[in-house]
Amino acid sequence: MAAFVSSSSVTTSSSPTMAISNIANLVLIKLNKDNYVLQKSLWLPILRSFNLLSLVDVSNVLPSEFITTIDDSKLSVLNSNPNFTDWARRDQTPLIWLNATIFESLLVYVVRLPTSEILWRTLEKRFSTISRSHVMQLKSRLQSIKKNSDSITDYLQHIK
């Protein structure tokens, strides 16, 4: 189980803090071309429990980086949006976590992606088609298995 600490930790409203380096204790396998569905099923509860799932949600609206205010002399002033600053800081956590749990051979394709949402969507696009084709391949193989002269044990082993 991951250790919860206060130094170099993630702080989100209404969630515990956890050292970024401890994510490896929760996600014991690294993403490769064959385990996307498994990885996704591990990540969803983690992101949900740390109140970070909205950061990878494609329907979530990104706050504007700047806001316009009117100063005392009635001039428009462009200021940093504190909501964007908070979002950008929070977004680094799932981005770091996800990158830390991807095999190096795949990391070269995603390491420069700027947000966790873009990384999440890129992985989903890249691997969901592979997952669908893998399901079709398994289905086809399962339909073509014949018992022939195999024992029941051997036959069931082929099915597995």
Classify residue 2: in a domain, yes or no.
Answer: no
Other beta carbons within 10 Å of 101: 19
Classify residue 123: in a domain, yes or no.
Answer: yes
Mean pLDDT (whole number) for 82-100:
94
Instruction: Determine contact, residues 18/9, Cβ cutoff 8 Å.
Output: yes
pLDDT: is 100 or 22 the higher one? Answer: 100
Classify residue 122: in a domain, yes or no.
Answer: yes
- Proportion of the chain in helix, strand, coil states, percent, rounded to 5: 55, 10, 35
Partner residues linked to 119 by β-bridges: none
- Say yes or no to pLDDT of 135 above 80: no
Classify residue 137: in a domain, yes or no.
Answer: yes
Instruction: Determine contact, residues 56/44, Cβ cutoff 8 Å.
Output: no
Residue 40 belongs to what domain range?
23-61+91-159
Does the predicted TM-score (pTM) go above 0.85?
no
Partner residues linked to 154 by β-bridges: none
Alpha-carbon radius of gyration of the chain? 22
